[in-house]
Amino acid sequence: MNSFVRRIEETDVTETVIGSRPQADGGTAQAPMLFEAADFSVRTGQTPILERVTLSIRKGEVLGIVGESGAGKSTLGKCIARALPRQFTTAGRLDVFGEDIGQMPASRHRALMGDRIAFVPQEPTSALNPVRRIGSLFGEHLTRLGVPKAEQQARMVAALSEVMLPDPEAVLNRYAFQLSGGMNQRIMIAMAFASRPDLVISDEATTALDMITQERTIVTLNDMRARYGCGVLFITHDLRLAGHFCDRVAVLRNGVVVEEGPAAQVLEAPQHPYSQGLKAATPRLDGPPHPLAAPSPKLRIPAQPAPIMAARGLAVRYGDPKSAGGQVEIMRDVDLQVEVAEFVGLIGRSGSGKSTIARILAGLQQPTEGDILLDGRVLGNSASDWQDRIASAQMVFQDPSSALNPRRRVWDIVTQAMVARGERLKSDRRRRAAELLADVGLDERLLDAYPRQMSGGQRQRVNIARALCVMPRLLIADEIVSGLDVSVQAQVIYLLLELRQRHDIALLMVSHDLSVLRQLCDRVVVMDQGAIVEAGPTQQVLDAPQHEATRALIAAAPPDDLSKTWPRGTEWDSNDKTPE
């Protein structure tokens, strides 16, 4: 186990807060206070969710709340919205505009919500009613704000122009599902700012978006804040993002604010051991490969490259070429190969076809054209080819909570493959399961646990252990670290590298996180709109990108250096046109 991970886990919850209290901060003391939590606690039964949290936001200020899952980040936003489940109890004060949220009458609270306090949600597409046009949803919001019907159209067009949506009139006539996630998020921002709110609460507003869309959303948010001078409560798990966008940052751990202060200070030179651990666990964009990532000796030996698995001329098309809509081309001319013990990263924007390649290689999807080769032999549809394939290449799925059957116990999940081979004896299976758990660094006591009883990181390890049961030579991993907290992410990276040293495993890793690929992969392959546009050694591709799509991906990631300007500005690419 890495030392910094252990440090995070062993940090004492009760340690004192380091950093300046907002009261002591003189810089913005004149600006009016928008939001103030004073010794604010939330608990459910005996379990504390937030413990004596003291925070504040003044006008024009962005306060970032960072922390890992379960730290209580979202609870603060929920308290302001008064959306806490019933069994939660609160103590202390939580003021907005100098009034205690807990004490104000429901009607007063309703009047503030959506007017002086606005929310930007995590999943913009599910926040917009899919059966109503954007114009109708926006119009309803304006009616509520008291804008007369006659002025609404002009107001909506102006608002959508402000968030830099091309062709606002056309957007108003669309449904949410016809627009991209990034466009929907900008619509949510436009709606949030329609009331000229004084306080905006953004809960992981960019987490569901890809890097390029994330950058654009942050640009928009930043722009609107500068224009209207509101305060922003910015909840995120991404330290770099918080560092670039926030003025002040509070690090939350198990409901306790362990450190709070100016963003640059907290993130560049954290004082508290937990924040230091978080910083250490965050992979750097320009950093060296992981200490364990030295290429396996095996990789260098063969003079002739010996790919385990290769794709040749893959194309995927949907629809009937003779029908009116014609065919939709998802992917074309994809050639890809993974050598023995090689770690290959596959990057690209969402919708570029990365996951489709992973599924095709694993055998879960058939390409319209092209072949998959295993050890140089074309795989057909026969049962024996399928057996060869699943014995050599295994897939690790993105979301462990969906990839693990909730009604099976851990030992049963990780040894599924033995049942298929006819090894049904429970004692044998349990013995093998114990070995596999040891391989992925899990305690044997978890053998009889159900997936629901484990943490996200533990589940992802079980997910990996299952793929290892057949001792495959290639692991195909679809975004397996992107949903994880940084500390857990560091554990999984370590585990994968360790597996390579021990078992000479090869990896094809689909990810949008450049910093993770940089640490982990020997080679990266860049996809854009269904085609491979660039491939090469990791350092070379990331440091000197040749293709425009690669450059855009790299530029969109918030840099490690907080003094660098990010986001850079407002340039939109061709993907963002309003659909016909």
Partner 1 sequence: MTDWTEVLRDWRVGLGGLLLLVLMGVALAAPWLAPHDPNAQDLLWVLLPPSWAPGGDPAYLLGTDTLGRDVLSRLIWATRSAAYVAVLSTIGAAVLGITLALIAGYAGGVLDWIIMRAVELLLSFPAVVFALVLIAALGPGLENVIIAVIAVDWTRFARVLRSEVRQIKGRDYVAAARLMGATPLQVVLQDVLPNIMPSILMLVSLEMGGAVVAETIISFVSASAEADVPTWGVIIADGLSDIYATPAPVIAAVSSIVVFVLATILFSDGLRRRTDPRQIERRGAAA
Q: Does 450 bind partner 1 (CB under 8 A)?
A: yes
Q: Is 435 in the site for partner 1 (CB under 8 A)?
A: no
Q: At what angle do helices 486-503 and 273-281 cross, to 10 degrees?
A: 50
Taking the least distance from each CB to partner 1, the nearer of 393 and 514 is 393
Determine the interface stretch with partner 1 among 93-101, 301-309, 465-473, 533-541 (rule: CB under 8 A).
Answer: 465-473
Q: Which listed range, 325-333, 396-404, 521-529, 534-542, lies at the site for partner 1 (CB under 8 A)?
A: 396-404
Q: Which of 185, 392, 394, 550 binds partner 1 (CB under 8 A)?
A: 394
Structure tokens at 294: 């030295």
Distances in Å between the alpha carbon of 576 and those of 181, 184, 351, 546? 10, 11, 13, 23
List the x/- string, 72-111, binding to partner 1 by CB under 8 A: x-xx--x-----xx-xx-----------------------
Rounded Cα distance, 193 and 187, in Å: 10
Q: Between 346 and 362, whose beta carbon lies closer to partner 1?
A: 362
Residues 6+ away with beta carbon under 8 Å from 537:
522, 523, 524
Using a 10 angstrom Cβ sphere, with 0-12 exposed, 13-18 middle and 19 or more buried, the burial of residue 324 is exposed
Asked whether position 452 contacts partner 1 by CB under 8 A, the answer is: yes
Q: Which stretch binds partner 1 (CB under 8 A): 4-12, 181-189, 199-207, 447-455?
A: 447-455
What are the strands of the beta sheet with 117-120, ordered from one edge? 117-120, 199-203, 231-236, 62-66, 248-253, 256-262
The residue range among 105-113, 216-224, 399-407, 512-520 that interacts with partner 1, by the rule CB under 8 A, is: 399-407
- Least Å distance between CB 279 and partner 1? 23
Applying CB under 8 A, the site for partner 1 has a residue count of: 42
**Distance in angstroms (rounded) separating the CA atoms of residues 469 and 320:** 40
To partner 1, the closest distance from the beta carbon of 102 in angstroms equals 18
**Taking a C-beta distance cutoff of 8 angstroms, is the pair 309, 337 a contact?**
yes
Q: Which of 118, 404, 477, 549 binds partner 1 (CB under 8 A)?
A: 404
- Only one of the segments 190-198, 389-397, 520-528, 533-541 lies at the binding site for partner 1 (rule: CB under 8 A); that segment is 389-397
Q: Is 161 in the site for partner 1 (CB under 8 A)?
A: no
Rounded Cα distance, 530 and 357, in Å: 9
Residue 420 lies near partner 1 (rule: CB under 8 A): yes
Binding mask 330-369 for partner 1 (x = CB under 8 A): --------------------------------xxx-----
Give CA–CA dist 386/75, Å, rounded.
Answer: 48
Question: Which of 387, 455, 539, 570: binder of partner 1 (CB under 8 A)?
Answer: 387
- Radius of gyration in angstroms for the set of CA atoms belonging to the chain, rounded to a whole number: 25
- Return the residue of 187, 395, 477, 508 that touches partner 1, per CB under 8 A: 395
Residue 402 contacts partner 1 per CB under 8 A: yes
Among 48, 70, 441, 536, binds partner 1 (CB under 8 A): 70
Q: Is 235 helix (H, G, I), strand (E, B) or coil?
A: strand
Indicate which single residue of 20, 41, 69, 90 sits in contact with partner 1 (rule: CB under 8 A).
69
Task: Order across the sheet with 531-537: list the strands.
Answer: 393-396, 474-478, 506-510, 343-347, 523-528, 531-537
Closest CB 405 distance from partner 1, rounded Å: 4
| Candidate list 35, 119, 274, 397; residue touching partner 1; CB under 8 A | 397
Q: In terms of CB distance, is 449 or 533 closer to partner 1?
A: 449
**Minimum distance of partner 1 from residue 436's CB (angstroms):** 13
Burial category of 61 from C-beta neighbours within 10 Å (exposed 0-12, middle 13-18, buried 19 and up) = buried
Number of helices and strands in the chain (H, E): 24, 20
Stretch that binds partner 1, among 167-175, 418-426, 432-440, 549-557 (CB under 8 A): 418-426
For residue 445, how many other CB atoms are within 10 A of its CB? 9
153/416 with CB nearer partner 1:
416
Cα–Cα distances in angstroms (integers) from residue 328 to residues 27, 133, 160, 313, 527, in the given order: 56, 25, 30, 17, 17
CA dist., res. 53 & res. 270, Å (int): 19
Q: Does 469 bind partner 1 (CB under 8 A)?
A: yes
Residue 492 CA to residue 495 CA, distance in Å, equals 5
| Stretch touching partner 1 by CB under 8 A, among 343-351, 411-419, 436-444, 568-576 | 411-419
538 touching partner 1, by CB under 8 A? no
CB 416 within 8 A of CB 469: yes
Interface positions with partner 1 (CB under 8 A):
44, 47, 49, 69-70, 72, 74-75, 78, 84-85, 87-88, 362-364, 387, 390, 394-395, 397-399, 402-408, 416-417, 419-421, 450, 452-453, 466-467, 469-470
